[in-house]
Structure 1
Amino acid sequence: MTLALGLLLAAVLVAAAGPVYLLGAVRPSVRPGLALAGWVSSLLLVPLCALTSATLLLLPWGSEVDGAIGMADSCLNLVRAEGAVEWLDLVRLGAALVLFGLLGWVGLVAVRMTRAQRRWRDEHVSLLRSVCRAGRDRVLWLEEDQPVAYSVGGRSGCVVATRGVAALSAPQRDAVLAHEYAHLHGRHHLLVLLAGIMGTALPFIPLCRKGAGAVPVLVELAADAVAAREHGHGPLRAALLAVREYGTPAGALAMSRDAVDARLCWLDQHRGGSHWLPVRWDYPVAVLFALAPTVAAAALVAFAVLVYCFGVGGY
């Protein structure tokens, strides 16, 4: 019971207070990939804690309670108005049902949005391959003078660029392509979909509501950081100003769609923050950071139980 309450408290804390410290990490002194990993880890941690807590609430934890069977017996006693009613069992059962209901709703939204995204992606890529000129390294070239670039994720993921992009200077063109490749290699489309699912299913939760807007910007910043490391800040800045959003589909990650002004500001102020931490450590460090509230919540509940046992309980 103590662990279940600790995990439930952790889920509530991260869901409510997570945006406060996560948004604070979005600054030029912090590598965007690390901030992105923090948001994604927290978005996954909340349902995981809730699921584990709901499961533990249904398990046996005392000699007088036989898990779900004991709670069902309490419910029957309450309905029949006879026998002893284990009110704690009813609270546990109600909390577990609420948590499972919310998680089930998230699952339904995830299935619906994932299917819609996959259907659009397959149809769009099939159409592109019929009208585009296939280049090297999964690049499809459109005969369009406007410089436009975007990427489509999935197993058949590709980069779509126009003749206008090919006409840019070599450093700018390479920066554009590096940005889009970073989206594919980082599975950014999947991360944006995850944030969209959580924001659509649970908009009343601050972490989910804020994450739906923060993650799309952070994946662009993370892709910018990769392109800047490979080709320099100058060519990337010029490419951001040159490439247009015109005609890019909503389901893709476009080079110049999200928070262009903020990204230009980041490029101007960036000083290689977090350079002491290898890029491959972004997610492990972010997971440890996200787990800190969970450990703190479990410790707080355990301390409260000890205080009760040795104080009010008289043990």
Structure 2
Amino acid sequence: MITAAALLLGVLVVGWWSPRPLSRLSALVGPGTALAWWLLTAAGLVVGTMAGVLLLVLPGHGPAAAVLAVLHDCWAAVGHGELPALDPIAGGAAAAVVLAAATRLALVSAGRRRRHAVLHRRHLVALQLSGAGGDGPLPTLWVPRDEPVAYSLGGRRALIVASTGLKDRLSARELHAVLAHERAHVRGRHHLLTAVADVLGRTLGFVPLLRELPGAVRLLVELAADRAAAAQCGAGPLRSALLAIRAVEGPRRSLAMAGGDTAIRLQRLTARTGPRLVTRAAAVAGGFAALVAPAAVAVALVAGTSLVWCP
């Protein structure tokens, strides 16, 4: 009971107070590292919650023994007119909350996948009817539109959507940088990462970390795609292209070239990173710390309490 309570309290501490330090640290490291830290912290939150609930429901026993013990306690309480033990009540309540959250998570995820499939199907039909853009494994659908638009759709049949106005407004180098940016989204599976963040944010938005997760992930995947495109085409063409199409975004559930905070993206295009070895070491250490943060807080709480009460 004590271990489970400490772990769940660690989940609360991390869930409520981690967004601010994560936001500050994200400005000091590369977007890929920051993206991993945000997602691993969210994963640690979910895993810590599940582990805490399991410790409440199964306090040191196997599933069958735990169920029999709960039934025995309830029957004894009814027969003797006493209140049941606290462990079964706490475990049952926690299990009910987790089950309700898991059900909502599944429903939100299914609805989002269904809407994404409809959007994707419409673009693929338009691509087939136009007969254009079928070059290689990642085709480009050119739509007749005056506004400069560029976005990508992920999945097994990923594609890039761009407007004819984009060609008219941008130079050849700028256009190449924009397309490289969208290809980076597909290669990095950024659509999947943003989908996971959106589902968690919509399902468990009462937790500050998960409420801020979708916005943070959307900005960080744009920064990561910017870095990949700049490495391939140079920061100059990408910067001028971003300024030219900053006001036009794509549909929901797509990753548009104009997405994210433009001022931050322009600033980070000129930012420098440290040595590769130091950067990788910091990424691994920070990712591990983010994943085990709830457990680390729980250990600290138990150790601190034992020192106070058991000198």
Which TM class, normalised by the smaller chain length? 0.7 to 0.9
* Kept in 1: contact 2:45–2:294 (CA 8 A): no
- Counterpart check, 1:221 vs 2:223: yes
Deviates more, 1:85-94 or 1:183-192: 85-94
Relative distance call for 1:245 and 1:287 in structure 2 (3 A) is: same
Deviation of 1:15 after TM superposition, in Å, equals 1.2
**Counterparts of 1:276 and 1:254 in 2: how far apart (Å)?**
29
Counterpart in 2 of 1:289? 289
* Kept in 2: contact 1:13–1:293 (CA 8 A): no
* Kept in 1: contact 2:57–2:87 (CA 8 A): no
Deviates more, 1:250-259 or 1:152-161: 250-259
Relative distance call for 1:246 and 1:128 in structure 2 (3 A) is: farther
- Counterpart check, 1:118 vs 2:117: yes
Residue 135 of structure 2 aligns to a residue in which SS? coil
* Kept in 2: contact 1:60–1:66 (CA 8 A): no
5+ unaligned residues in a row in structure 1: which ranges? none
Deviates more, 1:80-89 or 1:168-177: 80-89
Matched AA of 1:136: D
- Show CA shifts across 1:209-261 (max 9, x none): 11122211111111111112222221111010123554722221110132122
**Counterparts of 2:309 and 2:85 in 1: how far apart (Å)?**
20
Identical pairs, percent: 34
Question: In the comparison of the two structures, how many residue pairs are matched?
Answer: 307
The structure 2 residue matched to 1:253, chosen from 237, 251, 255, is 255
Matched AA of 1:259: D
- CA-based RMSD of the aligned residues comes to 3.0
Deviation of 1:92 after TM superposition, in Å, equals 2.8
Relative distance call for 1:26 and 1:100 in structure 2 (3 A) is: same
Residue 25 of structure 1 aligns to a residue in which SS? helix
**Counterparts of 2:254 and 2:157 in 1: how far apart (Å)?**
13
Counterpart in 2 of 1:142? 143
Matches within 5 A, 1:118-197: 118-131=117-130, 133-137=132-136, 138=138, 139-167=140-168, 168-197=170-199
Residue 150 of structure 1 aligns to a residue in which SS? strand
Residue 212 of structure 1 aligns to a residue in which SS? helix
Matched AA of 2:66: G
* Kept in 1: contact 2:249–2:259 (CA 8 A): no
**Counterparts of 1:280 and 1:134 in 2: how far apart (Å)?**
37
* Kept in 1: contact 2:56–2:90 (CA 8 A): no
Deviation of 1:283 after TM superposition, in Å, equals 6.8
